[in-house]
C-alpha cells in the first residue's frame, strides 16, 4: 500500500500507464541485486533507488579510489579509501531513506553467487570482467532469474537481458562464442563516464520495465557506438552447443 508521501514522491512515474499505482507497488516490493559498484553499478543503483525499488543488494569487494571518481558517480572525494558498498549505501540512503539496502563486501564467484542470487527478483550484472560475467550468467540461469547485463569500454557500450524463468535458449555464454571479446578492463583501455551511464541507464530502464510488467525486452544484444552515437541491435537466441542453455526451447 502506497503512502500519501509515496504518491507525491513518485507521482511523475505513477502517472505513466507503464507504471501506475500497481507498478509502483511492485517496485516497492522488488529486490534488485546489483553486482559491481563501478561505472555501471553506480548510476544503475542511483536510478533504482530513486525509482523506489524496495530493496537493493549491493555487491563489491573494492574500495573507492581517486581514479574511480570520473565515472563512478555515487562517490565523492571524501569517500576515497572507503569500501564501495559502504560509500554507495551512504549516498543512496541520502537519496532515498525509505528503501532497504543490504551490502555484501565480497567478490561474486561461483561459490558466493548461488546464495547472493536466491533472494533477488532481478539481477544486474555491472561487473567488469568476463570470468565474473560468466559466473553470474551460470548462477542466474541455474536459479531461473531475470538477468540484465551491461558492459562498456572506451566509447562503446553493450546491454542484453535474459529471462531464465522461461524455458528459452540464449545466454551470455553463447553470446560470447560469437564475439571476439577482449577483456573489459578499464584500467588498461580507458572509458568515458557517460558511455557507462548509457549502458547503466538501459539496465535500470529494463529493470523497471521487467518489475512493472511493462515489456521486458530479452535476447536482444544492443551495442552503442559513442563515436558515431549509433545503436546496433542483434537478436540472440542461443547456439545448439552452448554448455549452459542448449536444449531449451528457442521460441522466445
Ligand atoms: Zn547459452
Cα of 83 vs centre of ligand 1, distance in Å, is 34
Q: Is residue 2 part of a domain?
A: no
Q: Residue 250: its pLDDT value, please?
A: 67
Domain residue limits at 135:
28-235
- Spacing, Cα 175 to ligand 1 middle (Å): 7
91 CA to middle of ligand 1, Å?
36
Ligand 1 centre from 194 Cα, in Å? Answer: 30
CATH number for the domain that contains residue 171: 3.40.50.720
pLDDT (0 to 100) of residue 187: 63
Q: Is residue 149 part of a domain?
A: yes
For residue 249, is it within any domain?
no
How high is the pLDDT of residue 180?
A: 62
| pTM, entire model | 0.95
Give tens-digit pLDDT for 182-221: 545 556 689 999 999 999 999 999 999 999 999 999 999 9
pLDDT of residue 177: 86
**How much is the pLDDT for 183?**
47
- What are the residue ranges in the chain where pLDDT is below 70? 180-188, 250-252
Whether 208 and 147 have beta carbons less than 8 Å apart is answered as no
Q: Which three cell numbers stand for residue 167?
A: 524455458
- Of these residues, 42, 126, 171, 186, which one is catalytic? 186
> What is the torsion angle, in degrees rounded to the nearest 10, for the CA atoms of residue 109, residue 33, residue 170 and residue 168?
120
Whether residue 241 is contained in a domain is answered as: no
Q: Does some domain include residue 146?
A: yes
Helices 193-212 and 41-51 cross at an angle (nearest 10°) of 40
- Indicate whether 16 belongs to any domain: no
Whether residue 71 is contained in a domain is answered as: yes
How many domains does the chain fold into? 1
Residue 186 falls in the annotated catalytic set: yes
Give a yes or no: residue 93 inside a domain. Answer: yes
Amino acid at each position: 500500500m502506497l503512502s500519501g508521501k509515496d504518491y507525491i514522491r513518485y507521482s511523475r512515474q505513477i502517472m505513466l500507464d507503464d507504471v501506475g499505482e500497481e507498478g509502483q507497488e511492485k517496485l516497492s516490493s522488488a529486490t534488485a541485486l546489483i553486482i559491481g559498484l563501478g561505472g555501471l553499478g553506480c548510476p544503475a543503483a542511483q536510478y533504482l533507488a530513486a525509482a523506489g525499488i524496495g530493496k537493493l543488494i549491493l555487491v563489491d569487494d573494492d574500495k573507492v579510489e581517486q581514479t574511480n571518481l570520473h565515472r563512478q558517480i555515487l562517490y565523492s572525494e571524501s569517500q576515497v579509501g572507503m569500501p564501495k558498498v559502504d560509500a554507495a549505501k551512504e549516498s543512496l540512503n541520502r537519496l532515498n531513506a525509505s528503501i532497504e539496502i543490504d551490502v555484501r563486501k565480497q567478490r561474486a564467484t561461483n561459490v558466493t553467487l548461488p546464495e547472493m542470487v536466491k533472494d533477488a527478483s532481478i539481477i544486474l550484472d555491472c561487473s567488469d570482467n568476463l570470468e565474473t560475467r560468466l559466473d553470474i550468467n551460470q548462477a542466474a540461469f541455474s536459479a531461473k532469474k531475470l538477468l540484465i547485463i551491461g558492459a562498456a569500454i572506451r566509447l562503446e557500450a553493450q546491454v542484453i537481458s535474459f529471462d531464465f524463468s522461461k524455458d528459452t535458449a540464449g545466454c551470455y555464454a553463447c553470446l560470447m562464442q560469437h564475439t571476439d571479446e577482449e577483456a573489459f578492463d578499464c584500467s588498461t583501455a580507458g572509458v568515458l563516464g557517460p558511455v557507462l551511464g548509457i549502458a547503466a541507464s538501459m539496465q535500470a530502464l529494463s529493470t523497471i520495465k521487467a518489475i512493472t510488467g511493462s515489456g521486458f525486452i530479452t535476447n536482444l544484444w544492443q551495442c552503442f557506438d559513442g563515436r558515431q552515437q549509433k545503436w546496433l541491435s542483434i537478436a540472440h537466441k542461443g547456439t545448439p552447443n552452448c554448455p549452459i542453455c542448449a536444449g531449451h526451447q528457442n521460441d522466445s
